[in-house]
Amino acid sequence: MSVSNLALYRLLVKFGATEDEAETAATLDASTLATKADIADLKVALASLEAALAWKVITAMVSLTGIFALIVAWLTRGAR
């Protein structure tokens, strides 16, 4: 472990990381970390998933409202 990695390891342990977590973090190869471009791509993908989920939730709510309206109409048909 290089001097900077050892310093990082000690700092992580000092602030509460377990020894295994600190060792893993201190020995990570920088090429395996996400870049800003990777994070931007993930943000775009997340935004599109969020929009798709919102439409699915809206569709489900409208469908359930329609079903509820049909049930209420069916239950109250004899009250007229």
Could you report the average pLDDT of every consecutive run of 10 residues in the chain (80 residues)? 82 91 83 86 95 96 97 84
CA 15 to chain centre: 26
Q: What pTM does this model have?
A: 0.48
* Residue owning tokens 């920088």: 30
